[in-house]
Amino acid sequence: MTSSTVARTPAPATPDTPLRTWGGTHSWQPARRVAPRDEGELGTVVAGAAADGLRVRAMGAGHSFTAAAVTDGVHVGLDHLSGIEAVTPQADGTSLVTVRAGTRLHHLNRLLAALGLAMRNLGDIDRQSVAGAISTGTHGTGARLGGLATQVRGVRVVGADGVVRSASDAAAPGSPERELFEVARLGLGVAGVLSAVTLEVVPAFWLRAQEEPWPLDRVLEGLDEYVDGNDHAEFYWFPGTRRALTKRNNRATADEVEGWAAGRAGARGVVRTAGARARALLDEEVLSNGVFEVANRLAFAAPGIVPRLNAVSARALGAKTYLAPSADVFVTRRRVRFVEMEYALPRAALRPVLDDLDAWLRASGEPVPFPVEVRFAAADDVWLSTAHGRETAYVAVHQYAPMPYQRYFSAAEQIFAAAGGRPHWGKMHTRTAEYLADHYPLADVARVRAAVDPDGVFRNDYTDTVLGTADSSTD
Ligand SMILES: Cc1cc2nc3c(=O)[nH]c(=O)nc-3n(C[C@H](O)[C@H](O)[C@H](O)COP(=O)(O)OP(=O)(O)OC[C@H]3O[C@@H](n4cnc5c(N)ncnc54)[C@H](O)[C@@H]3O)c2cc1C
């Protein structure tokens, strides 16, 4: 069953209440629900389900907007498989950290901080599970950085026979182990249920966050400098305006962090910033939370006022600079329920795509009280990564959950697809394997699936749609 208009906070799931996604885009009732307490029990329940002829789907935090986690078979909840198993320091200063697959990112961030470690890059929330986040290609921003799956060095994955297999990037290219690794680290769960993930993490670091409203044209005219000149650059553009909120996060120097701790001006003139951090939290209210909820309710009741609301929001957000531990800067709170579509574009296509989107929004008068979010990533070599083989700009369109989104998303998707866009695997889209085969090595993925899951235990309707069935050639 699919619903696009439910916006309430989900009630805790009991065996009788349907499962549902965070955005209210899908709800479903699996045949069986299991929550194994450890890896051994996970193997037993997966093998038992397969023996009963049922399909198996793990779910993390249910934060995908697509039907990626939906199943009419066995739903595997992984909340008990949480925490760090092992930490191995590397000669280059990084560490390999093996994490149980159900660990939520906010929990992981706390555990890493206690060890003096941190994820190199993160998305903009931390509610997801590690396995769910990597399986859909969750990413943050940074022209020299990849998404979370690029930080994965190894996996343990439970097959339909209940056997736990390890696979890592140390295996020889082209070997069965290496290919299993490729599909397991970003593959919507089609290689089996991940029980543990080994991540490469870095020593803990602080970021200097600079947030400033700019004219959109200033961002676009100096785009390369803006994107390449910062560790993590992104911006939010307010539809119907030519204004953007820019966000640039760069590693803080030791001097700056010391200056923060001592309560004096930092080496680069960054003043003690408790006020700025408070201002940032206030702006989160305008952009993502309480004030934003009120604005969206007004927009829902009177769509005609959206252009004025956007103009006010674009001006209400102030300039600020603050220092904070990396995870605190990367992550924001998102209390307003929305639906989202995001496409990965060749970076060079960003400007014409935004021009087309702007033209459509102006011509249609579509009320869109959410800013358009633009982020960046380096090219990578992960088979199913949306940044596979090309420097990428991500453009995300959102709509307040109770408001109609279909016309807006459909127009945006046509613009994105015409520019060679690739949809985020966890966000709304209508692409199928036929389109996606031009962007990904789907025949290689099918070969691996046929080898590790010949009976299709780990398929669901969504994977059939976007990857094809393991025995179907998409070439
Ligand atoms: C408010 C909000 C903010 C977001 N921000 C970002 C962002 O900044 N950047 C970004 O890229 N995305 C973002 N997303 C999308 C989100 O990161 C992805 O959809 C992610 O997959 C959600 O993680 P999850 O743990 O909820 O996974 P789920 O949605 O529960 O599952 C996702 C997929 O992973 C599979 N899976 C889960 N656990 C396992 C396992 N143990 N083994 C095998 N397969 C498994 C599921 O079967 C499913 O196919 C956001 C989503 C929301 C709702």
Q: What is the pLDDT at residue 260?
A: 78
Per the domain annotation, does 253 fall within a domain?
yes
CA of 137 to the centre of ligand 1 (A): 8
Number of domains in the chain: 2
Same domain, 112 and 165: yes
Q: Rounded to an integer, what distance in angstroms lies between the CA atom of residue 138 and that of residue 129?
A: 11
CA of 428 to the centre of ligand 1 (A): 12
Q: Rounded to an integer, what distance in angstroms lies between the CA atom of residue 152 and that of residue 169?
A: 8
Asked if 51 and 94 count as a contact pair (C-beta separation under 8 A), the reply is no
Same domain, 185 and 306: no
DSSP category for residue 388: B
Nearest residue (by CA) to ligand 1, atom 32, is 132
Q: Which of 152, 142, 159 is nearest to 181 (CA)?
A: 152
Same domain, 164 and 283: no
Q: Angle 389-140-372 (CA atoms, 0-180°, nearest 5)?
A: 100
Q: Rounded to an integer, what distance in angstroms lies between the CA atom of residue 275 and that of residue 283?
A: 12
Nearest residue (by CA) to ligand 1, atom 19, is 64
Walking along the chain (475 residues) 10 residues at a time, the average pLDDT comes out as 38 73 96 97 97 97 98 97 98 98 98 98 97 98 98 98 98 97 98 98 97 96 98 96 95 87 52 52 61 73 72 74 95 89 98 97 93 97 98 97 95 98 98 98 97 97 94 50
Task: Kindly provide the b/e burial profile for residues 366-397, where b requires at least 16 CB atoms within 10 angstroms of the residue's own CB.
Answer: bbbbbbbbbbbbeebebbbbbbbebbbbbbbb
Q: What is the pLDDT at residue 3?
A: 35
Q: What is the pLDDT at residue 137?
A: 98
Domain range enclosing 166: 84-204
Helix pair 306-316, 290-301: axis angle to 10 deg:
160
Per the domain annotation, does 461 fall within a domain?
no
The secondary structure of 85-99 as a DSSP string is: EEEEE-TTS-EEEEE
Q: Rounded to an integer, what distance in angstroms lies between the CA atom of residue 315 and that of residue 61?
A: 34
Same domain, 173 and 291: no
Same domain, 88 and 175: yes
Q: What is the pLDDT at residue 462?
A: 98
Per the domain annotation, does 157 fall within a domain?
yes
Per the domain annotation, does 273 fall within a domain?
yes
Which atom of ligand 1 is least distant from the CA of 193? 42
Per the domain annotation, does 388 fall within a domain?
no
Asked if 176 and 449 count as a contact pair (C-beta separation under 8 A), the reply is no
End-of-domain residue from the set 336, 366, 391: 336
Per the domain annotation, does 451 fall within a domain?
no
The number of angstroms, rounded, from the C-alpha of 440 to the middle of its chain's C-alpha atoms is 19
**Interstrand relation of 56-59 and 74-77 (parallel, antiparallel or unpaired):** parallel
Dihedral (Cα; 33, 39, 40, 43), 10-degree rounding: 60
CA of 127 to the centre of ligand 1 (A): 9
Sign of the dihedral through C-alpha 280, 281, 283, 289:
positive
**Interstrand relation of 74-77 and 32-34 (parallel, antiparallel or unpaired):** parallel
Say if ligand 1 is within 6 A of residue 95 CB.
Answer: no
Q: What is the pLDDT at residue 167?
A: 98
Burial (CB count within 10 angstroms: exposed 0-12, middle 13-18, buried 19+), residue 102: buried
Asked if 313 and 236 count as a contact pair (C-beta separation under 8 A), the reply is no
Same domain, 164 and 266: no
Which atom of ligand 1 is least distant from the CA of 68? 49
Q: What is the pLDDT at residue 423?
A: 98
Nearest residue (by CA) to ligand 1, atom 10, is 138
End-of-domain residue from the set 152, 187, 204: 204
Say if ligand 1 is within 6 A of residue 57 CB.
Answer: yes
Same domain, 185 and 257: no
Same domain, 182 and 154: yes
Which atom of ligand 1 is least distant from the CA of 136? 21
CA of 128 to the centre of ligand 1 (A): 6
Q: What is the pLDDT at residue 378?
A: 98
The residue assigned the tokens 């390449």 is 228
Say if ligand 1 is within 6 A of residue 392 CB.
Answer: no
Pocket test for ligand 1, best of 34, 109, 121, 135 (most atoms within 8 A of CB): 135
Burial (CB count within 10 angstroms: exposed 0-12, middle 13-18, buried 19+), residue 447: middle
Say if ligand 1 is within 6 A of residue 386 CB.
Answer: no
User: How many Cβ atoms from other residues are within 10 Å of residue 184's Cβ?
Assistant: 28
Same domain, 167 and 217: no
Which atom of ligand 1 is least distant from the CA of 124? 8
Same domain, 298 and 211: yes
CA of 262 to the centre of ligand 1 (A): 39
Same domain, 136 and 214: no
Q: Which of 132, 272, 112, 261 is nearest to 197 (CA)?
A: 132
Per the domain annotation, does 32 fall within a domain?
no
Say if ligand 1 is within 6 A of residue 46 CB.
Answer: no
Say if ligand 1 is within 6 A of residue 133 CB.
Answer: yes
Q: Rounded to an integer, what distance in angstroms lies between the CA atom of residue 285 and that of residue 84?
A: 33
Pocket test for ligand 1, best of 56, 125, 232, 335 (most atoms within 8 A of CB): 125
Say if ligand 1 is within 6 A of residue 69 CB.
Answer: yes
Encoded amino acid at 278, one letter: A
Phi/psi of residue 154, nearest 5 degrees: -160, 160
Pocket test for ligand 1, best of 74, 76, 108, 136 (most atoms within 8 A of CB): 136
Per the domain annotation, does 88 fall within a domain?
yes
Say if ligand 1 is within 6 A of residue 336 CB.
Answer: no
Q: Rounded to an integer, what distance in angstroms lies between the CA atom of residue 359 and that of residue 366?
A: 11
Asked if 63 and 128 count as a contact pair (C-beta separation under 8 A), the reply is yes
Greatest alpha-carbon span in the chain: 66
Same domain, 112 and 176: yes
SS3 content of the chain, % helix, strand, coil (to 5): 35, 25, 40
* Domain CATH number, residue 148: 3.30.465.10
Q: Rounded to an integer, what distance in angstroms lies between the CA atom of residue 430 and that of residue 418?
A: 14
